Amino acid sequence: MTQSRLHVPHPPARPGEKPDFSYLEIPPAGREPRPDTLAPALEIERLGTGMVRVLDEQGHAVGAWNPHLEPEDLQVALRHMLLTRHFDERMQRMQRQGRISFYMKSTGEEAVAVAQAMALEPGDMLFPSYRTQGLFIVRGKSLVDLMCQCLSNTRDMCRGRQMPIMYHWAEGNIFSISGNLATQFPQAVGWAMAAAIKGEDRIAATWIGEGSSAEADFHHAMTFAAVYQAPVILNVVNNQWAISSFQGFAGGERRTFAQRGPGYGIPGVRVDGNDFLAVYAVTRWAAERARASGGPTLIEHVTYRAAAHSTSDDPSRYRPKEEWQAWPLGDPITRLKNHLIALGEWSEERHAALEKELEAHVTACWKEAVTYGTLTEGPTLDPVSMFEDVFHDMPPHLKRQREELRRLLAAQHAAAAAQVPDGEG
Amino acid sequence: MQNATAAEAPVTLTYRDAVREALHAALRDDPRVFLMGEDVGRYGGSYAVSKGLLETFGAERIRDTPLCESTFVGAGIGAALGGMRPIVEVMTVNFSLLALDQIVNNAATLSHMSGGQLNVPLVIRLATGAGRQLGAQHSHSLEGWYAHIPGLRIAVPATIDDARFMLAAALRLPDPVLLFEHLYLYNMQGTLTEGLEQVDLERAAIRRTGRDVTLISYGWSLHKCLAAAATLAAEGIEAEVLDLRSLRPLDEATIMASVRHTHHALIVDEGWRSGSLAAEIVTRIVEQAFYELDAPVARLCTAEVPIPYAQHLEEAALPSPARIAAAARELLTSARGP
């Protein structure tokens, strides 16, 4: 008699065990062919099983996917990635010191957001996930503004209403970040459908973690994108971990995430997410395809979440501490740096100088940001402002509640003032 | 876990510990019980409730799931129909909206639609409420919404005793039960009532007796009401504090008995005012005890805005002990007339 058994995925290594990435097959750089941008989805299924890689072990750019960027562009890219990392480090430190309540770093994944933002046009609409802060940095949002959002202060773009890092920047064509995962996927597809209806040359791009690709929204968005051939780039950032759930829990044990694309009739491309040039080249390919009415592309970025999920998480409880060091695709910043050095366009000295410069810049930005208020020191947002923006025009019941709060705060203020002993305050 | 001998002083534990003990006991006592949800295994749950259970009960019974609320709740329904007693953990009530079709259109209706052929003995545990600076997408109090749905039982443990024993009561029922754990309460400390072995899921409880005004609430708001009652007591106002415990069904008898006793009622509900649970309770008091009232029924709810993130904004949006006390005073003053 046969008996079925429940399979519960188990990650290859737990704390105290040797990191094991043998489940990842990593082809040599330059191996994957670069098909025509309008090749039919079913003819290029191979792109979903292999891995597009441009930078080889010696730091040379090789193969058909080499985007042949100018050294100046590569230096800008390096700068953006380094700035993202320094920004993250600083904000994490500020959280540890109690200056902000929460933070999420993108350490180890900087190439994804930076390369993609650089590969897209400024008018393209971005629907980010919460680990793509590089998008804001490439598009020129000032660190002061990002910090003010994390501080929830008087210059906070979200007016104290959103958790730290849930930025929103309409002018920069970057949509609001959602803490409820995957909702951005159908929204990006809808935006792209609208762009196509209007006959624009703008496209949409959106990001999701491999973990949240298990949400229904991912699958519904794939169906709609395929049905309407929406001009959208659908990115799955496979950083191996969704809080404590390894990628096997999202269905990565038997198929790559890119391979889901052909199931919906969408090309799926798997890319070395820590290879700036490869991410850039694949994004350009998908963008050209979308603009030429070739429809959507699913891109899986194979990368590693080097930091904790958030400042509320302690990954030493569920994965080996040494995993990041053992990660076979390395550090995206080191790899781009080595490439520039191999080109003769960079040096350790220049790199050290740039790091110093960026650190000073981050420090200066923080100093400015806190002048607009911190969690503990003024100036602070007026609490009655929370009744604004619930509706465009404030309805009577909210006006009433605002008045009630205003009266209550005034009474509390008066009571507090009356309690101040002589010689103080 | 409970290794104190009878002679020793009662062990202090947190609300979180109490829920964990409840889970532990349920898993130990019934092989059909299992826990399923995001990060419940090795990670120990988003609010550290299931920490340590994986080691005791294994990965099949402390089951991590893919990030997909609609399906892990749907799978819970399937497992319940298949003879198991699943406990599904949804990280926050906001995320349960992804599973609304399964909860409202399926779990709540299957018994009725099948002519009584099916039961869905499913327990869903959800973290609810604000106060932890988690912003509008993780802080709402939607239990009042769920209490609108026939076929669901809605219970809210607000005390250490209820945190420890409501789960077993829920598992004994053949109906789907939603247990709302207020995320602000997880760190609350207390002791278990000695000798208590089970609780019901039907009756409201009077947590403090008083003659002047009834404060009706549940969850975190209960503790704010108790704090307000202490303040009021110092001023000579004796507030009776009623813990609803079950939001569906509502224990009208206990509510009306208290109102008939104090002749004043203030409802404190962390949900939004319009169309709220508080509105329902007001209506029932008006319907059943109108002539007992010495003043119009009052209610204190959360400002009708998405819960803001910034701490001082969040505080300003929520009921507080000071506001509850102020509202109670106003209620009693208005009763005396101008």
d(CA A354, CA A2): 64
CA A24 from centroid of its chain's CA atoms: 22
pLDDT at A423: 45
pLDDT of residue A418: 87
The CA-based dihedral angle spanning residues B142, B145, B151, B154, taken in that order and rounded to the nearest 10 degrees: 40
Cβ separation A317–B68 shorter than 8 A: no
DSSP state of A247: G
Residue A373 φ/ψ, nearest 5 degrees: 115, 150
A85, A90, A289, A305: the active-site residue: A305
CATH topology of domain A41-371: Rossmann fold (3.40.50)
Distance between CA atoms of residues A174 and A167, nearest Å: 9
Helix/strand number for chain B, H first, E second: 12, 14
Confidence of residue B2 (pLDDT cuts 50, 70, 90): very low
- Give tens-digit pLDDT for A117-156: 999 999 999 999 999 999 999 999 999 999 999 999 999 9
Query: Which of the following is catalytic: A155, A270, A301, A309?
Result: A309
> Is the pLDDT assigned to residue A332 strictly greater than 60?
yes
C-beta separation of A353 from A82 below 8 A = no
Please state, in angstroms and rounded to a whole number, the distance separating the CA atoms of residues B269 and B308.
Answer: 17
Assess A215–B contact: CB distance below 8 Å, yes or no.
yes
> According to the model, what pLDDT value does residue B1 have?
43
pLDDT at A245 over 80: yes
3 state DSSP class of B250: coil
Residues of chain B with CATH 3.40.50.920: 205-336
Q: In this complex, do B308 and A161 lie within 8 Å of one another by their Cβ atoms?
A: yes
Q: What sign results for the dihedral spanned by CA atoms A25, A212, A314, A363?
A: positive
| Residue A420 confidence class, pLDDT cut points 50, 70, 90 | low
**CA pair distance A8, A6, nearest whole angstrom:** 6
* Of the partner residues B42, B69, B134, the one whose CB lies closest to the CB of residue A163: B134
Token pair, residue B143, equals 């239990």
Tell me what the mean pLDDT of segment A267-271 comes to.
98
Interface check A194 vs B, CB under 8 A? no
Assess contact for B208 and B229: CB atoms under 8 A.
Answer: yes
Residue A55 has pLDDT above 70, yes or no: yes
Q: What is the pLDDT of residues A10-52, one digit of tens each?
A: 999 999 999 999 999 999 999 999 999 999 988 899 999 999 9
Confidence of residue B10 (pLDDT cuts 50, 70, 90): confident
A351-408 per-position pLDDT tens digit: 999 999 999 999 999 999 999 999 888 899 999 999 999 999 999 999 999 999 999 9
Q: Is A23 a catalytic residue?
A: no
Write down the pLDDT at residue A424: 41
Mean pLDDT within A331-340:
98
The count of other CB atoms within 10 Å of the CB of residue A132 is 28
Query: DSSP code of B208?
Result: E
Q: Would you give the end-to-end CA distance of chain A in angstroms?
A: 83
Question: Is B138 annotated in the active site?
Answer: yes
- Mapped onto helix, strand or coil, the DSSP state of residue A290 is helix
Inform me whether the pLDDT recorded for A94 exceeds 90: yes
Chain A CB contacts of B326 under 8 Å are 408
User: Looking at the predicted structure, is the pLDDT value of residue B8 above 70?
Assistant: no
| Region(s) of chain B under CATH 3.40.50.970 | 4-191
Query: Residue B153 above 60 pLDDT?
Result: yes
B56 vs A405: CA distance, rounded Å = 50
pLDDT of A179: 87
Q: Which residues contact B99 (CB under 8 A, 6 or more apart)?
A: B69, B70, B72, B73, B74, B90
Does the domain at B205-336 match CATH 1.10.3470.10? Answer given as no
- Share above pLDDT 90 across residues of chain B, in percent, rounded to a whole number: 94
Q: Helices (DSSP H) in chain B: which residue ranges?
A: 15-29, 53-57, 69-81, 100-102, 110-113, 143-146, 160-172, 220-234, 252-262, 277-289, 311-317, 321-336
Of A216, A249, A408, the CB nearest to B64: A249
Q: What is the mean pLDDT of residues B216-220?
A: 98
Give the dihedral sign, CA B321/B323/B326/B332.
negative
pLDDT at A159: 95
Q: What is the pLDDT of residue A421?
A: 61
Residue-wise pLDDT tens digits, B154-197:
999 999 999 999 999 999 999 999 999 999 999 999 999 999 99
Inform me whether the C-beta atom of residue A386 falls under 8 Å from chain B C-beta atoms. yes
Residue B338 confidence class, pLDDT cut points 50, 70, 90: very low
Mutate to test the interface with B, among A3, A6, A8, A166 (most CBs of B within 10 A): A8
- Chain B residues near residue A372 by CB distance under 8 angstroms: none
Q: C-alpha distances in angstroms, B136 versus A100, A163, B243?
A: 17, 8, 26
Judged by CB atoms closer than 8 Å, whether chains meet at B309 and A180 is answered as no
Q: Residue B78 carries which side chain, given as an amino acid letter? A: G
Q: Tell whether A160 lies on the interface with B, counting CB pairs under 8 A.
A: yes
Question: SS3 letters for B59-102?
Answer: CCCEEECCCCHHHHHHHHHHHHHCCCEEEEEECCHHHHHHHHHH
CATH of domain B4-191: 3.40.50.970
Q: In this complex, do A8 and B316 lie within 8 Å of one another by their Cβ atoms?
A: no
Distance CA A257, CA A273 (A): 13
Count Cα atoms within 13 angstroms, Cβ side, for A21: 19
Closest chain B residue to A156, measured at CA: B310
The answer on pLDDT for A110 being more than 80 is yes
Distance CA A358, CA A79 (A): 8
Note the pLDDT tens digit of each residue in B75-131: 999 999 999 999 999 999 999 999 999 999 999 999 999 989 999 999 999 999 999
Residues A161, B94: C-beta atoms closer than 8 Å:
no
Contact B206, B254 (CB under 8 A): yes
Mean pLDDT of chain A: 95
What interface predicted TM-score (ipTM) does this complex get?
A: 0.85
Nearest-neighbour CA in chain B from A131: distance (Å): 17
Three-state DSSP class for residue A268: strand
- Residue A257, Cα to own-chain centre: how many angstroms? 17
Contact predicate B244/B216, CB 8 Å: yes
Picking from B138, B319, B176, the residue whose alpha carbon sits closest to that of residue A102 is: B138
Average pLDDT, chain B: 95
**A-chain residues near B138 (CB < 8 A):** 163, 179
Percentage of residues of chain A with pLDDT beyond 90: 93
Q: Which two tokens stand for residue B156?
A: 């809210």
Q: What is the pLDDT of residue B4?
A: 47
- CA dist A408 and B324 (Å) reads 12
B64/A14 CB distance under 8 A: no
Q: Is the pLDDT of residue B285 over 50?
A: yes
In the structure encoding, which two tokens stand for residue A208, read together? 């999701």
Catalytic annotation, pick one of B21, B89, B138, B264: B138
List phi, psi (to 5°) of B278: -60, -40
The alpha carbon of residue B316 is apart from the nearest alpha carbon of chain A, in Å, by 6
Q: What is the pLDDT of residues B53-75, one digit of tens each?
A: 999 999 999 999 999 999 999 99
d(CA B3, CA B6): 9
3-state secondary structure of A233: strand
Contacts of B279 in chain A (CB under 8 A): none
Measured CA to CA, the distance from residue A342 to residue A338 in angstroms comes to 6
Kindly determine whether residue A318 and residue B42, on different chains, have CB atoms separated by under 8 Å: yes
